[in-house]
Amino acid sequence: MFIEKLIITSHTSKIIREVNFNPKGLNLIVGISDKNGSTNDIGKTTLIRCIDFCLNGKLEQLYIDKEFRNSINQEVYDFLAKQQPTFTIIFKEESTKYNYEISRTVAFVKEKFKIDNNIIVNGIKIEGNFEVELKKYFFNNLEKKPTFRQLVPKFIRKDEQQISNVLKYLHSTTSNIDYEKIHLFLFGFSAKKLLQDKSELEHKLKNLKKSKEALASRFTVTDLKQILEITKKDLAKLYKARDSFQLDDKYELEEQELKYLQLELIKLEKIISDYQLKKTLSINKLEELKEGIFENDTGALKLLYDEAKFYSKDLHKTFDDVVHFHNKMIENEIEYITSKIKKYEEKLFEYIENRDKYSKQYSELMKKLSKTGSLAEYTKLNEQIEKIAEKKGRDEKLLDELESIENELKGFEDKLLKAKQELDSNLSDFDKKLIIFNNSFSTYSKELYDKEYFLSYDKDEDPIKFYTKNVGGNQGSGKKQAIISAFDLAYIDFINELKLGFPHFVAHDKVELIDIDKLKNLFDISNKINGQYIVPIIEDKIESILSDFEENIILRLSEKDKFFGI
């Protein structure tokens, strides 16, 4: 995908700015200094921000300056509000000769900006979610992660985080899990479904571990087993003491009734605990099933469908049929589990009602017996037994729940281990692709600094961690900036070698940090690649080499000719 043209028109269709790009090599946007030597506010970097905006970037980047405490450029804000412009970029796919016209129209309604998006492929307007369609055309991918906007800053480096970091170019809060997905995707990791399965397993494991932590906040499984053994020992002593207690014959019937009630209460507590556990597990299963219904995110199912379609040309079901069937199956299971939960609740209500009835009888009998002085000690024994038996029931229930979660955890951990082993086997092919990239990256970095840089990763880390290395260690900001450019130009070689239809352009701001001799080397390298290197720069910075690159200038800006003409 190459950039052919950018056109900005007003709401009256008047052309505000039109820029034609060089089809290959260096594309320079040159800012001419005023009499004070300044190029501020002429829009030197606005072109690459417009490209980013067209690729579903934020409109605010065109009128808010992050370098000056997010201050608003009122002139540009008023221009956008008044002109309500349409930004259109025409892209061309070299292999298919397709034309892609991406346009975003800015409307100003009730003191607020609204954006209207359009994609036209070979003259045909494309319907659907704007960002999803962009990812499909620019990266031939419909998976949820990495997102389109997580990938774009790799190709358009305009903000400080993107300019200063080769690999971690997104916001500082971006997780390592996200970066794993981004870099595996960018460098052609083929087992994408496997990666998604691994991610889902990690998500389920994380939730189960949280549940376990909540349940085991006081006692672990081992703790509870030890506690229950102690409780059983204490109960056995109390039962023995009570059984050996000598009562008058006139209280024998009450004693038998008391024992009967106590046994019934213990049975009921066990049954109630079992039903409560079944209900809890069913509710958890229900939540998992609800998450499995596809609404907007059908990426995982689409991968399976596409794979089935690839191997069977006689596949008669459409993808929508498959999604509908999948959702219907889950809905049926949800209905079944919901009915089970309802039955559990009915049973719980019945057994809790019985327990309360027996508990009331037990309490009344204990109260009656406690009034008899000779039975005071006997009554105290029964109270102790009741209290400890209740605690035993609670501990047994907690133990059952914890053991159930631990069994689930073990199952998911086994699945995750298997996924990681499969991932390892797929990484050997991935390593071969990295070699292709590093051939160019090491060559370009050696041309710049006589040191060979390379990209690598640590597969033993979870998530997989990517990094760049060189024998000289860390370098200053100017050198780092040049290496980032070398990295991105090498990436264009990489996607050409693998024949990937990814963006064949990179845009870099603030290249004036690079020494002039290294900058010339970069410009020379960029003119040899099958891609576009888009660079805004001050004319004074490259004055000594400007004559060598006159043909690469696509736009000159000055105080008299600002980007938006304001």
> 73 and 213 share a domain?
no
Does residue 307 lie in a domain region? yes
Q: Is the pLDDT of residue 308 over 70?
A: no
Average pLDDT over every residue of 203-215: 81
> 518 and 420 share a domain?
no
* pLDDT tens, residue by residue, 42-52: 888 999 999 99
Does residue 441 lie in a domain region? no
Q: pTM of the entire structure?
A: 0.65
Does residue 196 lie in a domain region? no
CATH of residue 537: 3.40.50
Last residue of a domain, one of 425, 445, 479: 425
> 334 and 227 share a domain?
yes
User: For all residues of the chain together, what is the average pLDDT?
Assistant: 85
The C-alpha atoms of residue 121 and residue 75 are separated, in whole angstroms, by 34
Other residues' Cβ atoms within 10 Å of the Cβ of residue 544 = 11
Last residue of a domain, one of 386, 409, 425: 425
Element housing 537 (H / E): strand 532-538
Q: Is the pLDDT of residue 311 over 50?
A: no
Residues spanned by the domain of 15: 2-144+152-158+502-557
Residue 112 — φ and ψ, nearest 5°?
A: -135, 145
Of 62-76, 208-222, 371-385, minimum mean pLDDT range:
371-385
Q: What pLDDT, on a 0 to 100 scale, did the predictor assign at position 528?
A: 96
Whether the CB-CB separation of 512 and 538 falls below 8 Å is answered with yes
* pLDDT tens, residue by residue, 416-471: 888 888 877 778 888 999 999 999 999 999 999 888 999 999 877 778 899 998 86
Q: Shortest CA distance to 115 belongs to which of 50, 48, 58?
A: 58
Average pLDDT over every residue of 555-563: 93
Q: What pLDDT, on a 0 to 100 scale, did the predictor assign at position 419?
A: 83
522 CB-side CA count, 13 A: 30
Of 151-160, 301-310, 328-337, 482-491, minimum mean pLDDT range:
301-310
> 23 and 127 share a domain?
yes
The C-alpha atoms of residue 257 and residue 381 are separated, in whole angstroms, by 15
Does residue 457 lie in a domain region? no
If phi over 0 gives left and psi between -120 and 50 gives alpha, with beta otherwise, what is residue 56? Answer: left
Q: Shortest CA distance to 526 belongs to which of 174, 172, 21?
A: 21
The C-alpha atoms of residue 207 and residue 182 are separated, in whole angstroms, by 24
* pLDDT tens, residue by residue, 61-111: 999 976 656 688 999 999 999 999 999 999 999 877 889 999 999 999 999
The C-alpha atoms of residue 415 and residue 411 are separated, in whole angstroms, by 6
Report residue 479's pLDDT band, with 50, 70 and 90 as the boundaries: low
Whether the CB-CB separation of 86 and 8 falls below 8 Å is answered with yes
Beta bridge partners of 119: 102
> 136 and 209 share a domain?
no
Contact residues for 401 (Cβ-Cβ < 8 A; gap 6+): 215, 277, 280
Report residue 60's pLDDT band, with 50, 70 and 90 as the boundaries: very high
> 222 and 140 share a domain?
no
* pLDDT tens, residue by residue, 521-532: 999 999 999 999
Q: Is the pLDDT of residue 398 over 90?
A: no
> 129 and 216 share a domain?
no
Classify residue 316 by its DSSP letter: -
Please count the structural domains in the chain.
2
Does residue 249 lie in a domain region? yes
Q: Is the pLDDT of residue 155 over 80?
A: yes
The C-alpha atoms of residue 152 and residue 173 are separated, in whole angstroms, by 17
Task: Tell me the three-class secondary structure of 173-205, residue by residue.
Answer: CCCHHHHHHHHHHHCCCCCHHHHHHHHHHHHHH
Q: Shortest CA distance to 247 belongs to which of 263, 259, 235, 232?
A: 259
Element housing 467 (H / E): strand 465-469
Q: What pLDDT, on a 0 to 100 scale, did the predictor assign at position 117?
A: 96
> 207 and 138 share a domain?
no
The C-alpha atoms of residue 291 and residue 286 are separated, in whole angstroms, by 9
> 342 and 271 share a domain?
yes
Q: Shortest CA distance to 223 belongs to which of 401, 405, 399?
A: 399
What's the sign of the alpha-carbon dihedral 300, 304, 310, 316? negative
* pLDDT tens, residue by residue, 251-282: 667 777 877 888 888 888 888 888 888 888 88
> 299 and 386 share a domain?
yes
59 CB-side CA count, 13 A: 20
Q: What pLDDT, on a 0 to 100 scale, did the predictor assign at position 191?
A: 73
Percentage of the chain exceeding pLDDT 90? 44
The C-alpha atoms of residue 165 and residue 484 are separated, in whole angstroms, by 7
Q: What pLDDT, on a 0 to 100 scale, did the predictor assign at position 221?
A: 86
Q: What pLDDT, on a 0 to 100 scale, did the predictor assign at position 564?
A: 94
Average pLDDT over every residue of 193-202: 76
Report residue 240's pLDDT band, with 50, 70 and 90 as the boundaries: confident
> 126 and 232 share a domain?
no
Last residue of a domain, one of 407, 425, 443: 425
> 320 and 418 share a domain?
yes
